Structure 1
Amino acid sequence: MPILADIESAAPELEAIFRDLHANPEIGFEETRTAGVVADKLREFGFDEVHQAVAKTGVVGVLHGRGQGNRRIGLRADMDALPIQETSGLDYASQNPGKMHACGHDGHTTMLLGAAKYLAGSRNFDGTAIFIFQPAEEGLGGARGMIAEGLFKRFPVDEIYGMHNQPTGQANRATVCKGTAMAGASFFDITVTGKGSHAAMPHQSNDALVTASALIGQFQTILGRNMPALESAVLSVTQIHAGSAYNVIPETARIAGTIRFFEPEARDLMQRRMREICAGFATGFGVVVDIEFRKIFDVLKNDPALSDEWLAAAADIVGTENVNDDSRPFTGSEDFADMLQVIPGAYGNLGHAGTIPLHNPGFVLDPAILPVGASIYARLIERRLPLEAT
């Protein structure tokens, strides 16, 4: 089965929605315009219920099939952009300075809207489909916010599915990793407080910047000398902020970054060693070092049986030769993991012709993926909520 015919005929409309969302990106919990576009489209499609302001800017649509079954399936897309200045050169590039859809969430939202339009027109399923448009996936806790506000109590589902684009250069290649699929993540913030001085007289200082620089290098020994060789983990320092003048040794320096892990023991080891290193450097350099960790993402674990269902729906659209069920775990993180902590489901990936990596200011999502992803979402509902022939 190729792209569903009704979705293929709606491809120009989907691309128009995508271009509009791409040109008007909004970062986490600020997706007011995006949420309005989504809600208006769901109402236009004839959804039975449309709920806004779920975790500030989230949207949930409820659609009943022609059958009277009690099963309920959830589909989720994320809506937020990143604080990145776009350099793609697209004629529909971001109009909001310093904000960009560099991870393709505009495409994810569009794909789910494509499935919504198709299913609202056919209602060729038995039960209820719940469409979840989530804010703030990029490390701001959008999934947790929706769950905390009673997402699955207000809109209970038996299974839930999600999808991410991948700029692999292999168009329409659908993959899923069964079981542990994506890393958990914590963010860390470190403040080094020393004693400032004139830059010409550094002996009068306790240099916070020197301490911070030394900490960064020492952290990199944790994976090589403390982590078991067969354990997968990542520690990356991504920010350092200090100083305001050429001739002043700064009083404080700030470091920030992330750790990624597949097992809580690995997270605990990295955090313990970072605290110990900070304490040692505080004593050795005569400074104060404060470190704070924030748990941001859970480890994403796909249900093996429902992973097969995701792949079966994808195979209906892209062909069995283009699906793969043995992809390796990925050290990136995704807060759909929080939903999978509550509801069984699966999260797959769909390749497209682009090759510039995610979170890059030049990232371009190939619009040809839109009807493909929409068709996979639609087939998931039709397959998991089959309407008996009469």
Structure 2
Amino acid sequence: MFDQDHIAEAIAWRHDLHRHPELGFEEHRTSEMIAGLLTDWGWRVHRGLAGTGVVAQMGQGAPVIGLRADIDALPIVEATGAAHASTLPGKMHACGHDGHTAMLLLAARQIAAEGVETGTITLIFQPAEESDGGARVMIEQGLFSQFPCDKVFGIHNWPGVAPGRFVARDDKMMAAFSVFDIEILGKGGHGAMPEQSDGVIAAAGRTAAALQEIPARALSPLEPGVVSVTQIHSGSAYNVCPDRAVVSGTCRWFGAEAGDIIEDRLRRVASAEAAAQGCTANIDYQRRYPATINTAPEAALAREVAADMGLDTSMVGPSMASEDFAFMLNEVPGAYLWLGAAREGENPGLHSAKFDFNDAVLPAGAEFWVRLARRATQG
């Protein structure tokens, strides 16, 4: 479908983005590059939603299909050793958003060359997917009121699935998630006289252990749920019983009731464990993203397009990871899709300091976008 020079150029865009990663809501260089290319190809370009978001349209009238790519990087020190490694210490594209952007740009170039005969294609280049909810902000600032869509789709490269496979489930794709910080406060004292202080450290340790048992004890075995304690901070000396500890982590779930149960049980467990050691617990619990749930007709459409390309569309289970494309699916029918991107040999996972997007799957991802755009705008 694509000229080999265009594929090579798309890979070069990807490598350039990888060298210059930008964190959520800071993607100014990335946004400038995207907008410039799209303008050159004749797309109607709008900038400014969520600060660095770019929306572009071609065609007119209904139906309107939205195609979304995320553009932000992560605060990770890169360890790939690649020639195109990050030039910005402490920032890297460890999730493949550089590849997602390049795939959609390559598709946009091809769509512009072919023209859009019926309907409207809307490209959504979204900032701040990694925990900051850029999709939510774009929607709050008028994404779907200014650019109404009949269907919306997003692709993520998936290193846990081999190239040549494409996953579009009819319902659950990725979990909802929250983060929590539990501040445990009590009286500190000398390490040699613990009876004169409260059990801040004991409360933190017992809380951490008890929280991770919540899904097993509070949810049905048939209901997915995860509570992971990922941080414990306390103390500064060998001989001091501290007066403060912080236990932090994340929760994941699909069903609304499961989310309520996890939060309620977390609050009760933390308060009870703190009280048992003479302490108090201040709990900051923030629900970040809803579950990513595909609508069945749109998932089926995606599988049909992928099958026509010769891709294997057999199913795999949902992931307990999370994705802010969920906010878009709460507003518009659509589907979130996984493009198999595993590497031979060492195959670092998403968010690894050694992860690098697999350029070999870039043309397939872009071809899928072009074919889907054609199919969906035919009504």
Normalising by the residue count of structure 1, what TM-score does the alignment of the two structures yield?
Answer: 0.92
Root-mean-square deviation over aligned CA pairs: 1.6
Alpha-carbon deviations, 1:334-386, whole Å to 9, x = none? 11111000000111111123221111111121111111111111111111113
For the pair 1:61 / 2:62, whether they are aligned, the reply is: no
Is this contact kept in 2: 1:169–1:352, CA < 8 A? yes
Are 2:313 and 1:323 aligned?
Answer: yes
Q: Quick one: which of 11, 18, 21 aligns to 2:14? A: 18
Shift of 1:209: 2.5
Match of 2:28 in 1: 32
Q: Secondary structure at the match of 1:272?
A: helix
Contact 1:125/1:382 (CA < 8 Å) preserved in 2? no
Aligned to 1:345: 334
Residue by residue, what CA displacement relative to the aligned partner does 1:16-63 show, whole Å, maximum 9, x if unpaired?
A: 11001111111111111111111111112221x211221111111111
Distance 1:69 1:30 in 2: 33
C-alpha distance in 2, partners of 1:169/1:289? 42
Match of residue 2 from structure 2: 5
Give the SS at the match of 1:70. Answer: coil
Mapped to 1, the partners of 2:88 and 2:189 lie a distance apart of 40
Contact persistence 2:157–2:341 (CA under 8 A) = yes
Contact 1:185 1:261 in 2 (8 A): yes
Distance 1:79 1:299 in 2: 21
Distance in 2 between the 1:217 and 1:141 partners?
30
Match for 2:13: what amino acid? I
Q: Deviations over 1:258-308 (max 9, x none)?
A: 111110111111111111112212221111101121111111111111111
Quick check: 2:94–2:350 contact (8 Å CA) kept in 1? yes
Match of 1:292 among 274, 284, 288: 284
Q: CA deviation at 1:205?
A: 2.2
Q: Separation in 2 of the partners of 1:207 and 1:19?
A: 52
| Counterpart for residue 160 of structure 2 | 168
Aligned pairs (5 A) from 1:128-143: 128-143=120-135
Give runs of aligned pairs for residues 179-328 of structure 1, distance below 5 A: 179-317=171-309, 319-320=310-311, 322-324=312-314, 326-328=315-317
Q: Secondary structure at the match of 2:63?
A: strand
% same residue: 44
Please, which runs of 5 or more residues in structure 2 have no aligned partner? none
Is 1:92 equivalent to 2:58 in the alignment? no
What is the rounded CA distance, in whole Å, between the counterparts of 1:240 and 1:99 in structure 2?
A: 24
Q: 1:329 to 1:168 in 2, by over 3 A?
A: closer
How many residue pairs match? The answer is: 376
Q: Secondary structure at the match of 1:368?
A: helix
Q: Is the 8 A contact 2:174 2:318 kept in 1?
A: yes
Change (3 A) 1:164 1:125: farther
TM-score (norm 2): 0.95
Q: Which runs of 5+ in 1 are unaligned?
A: none
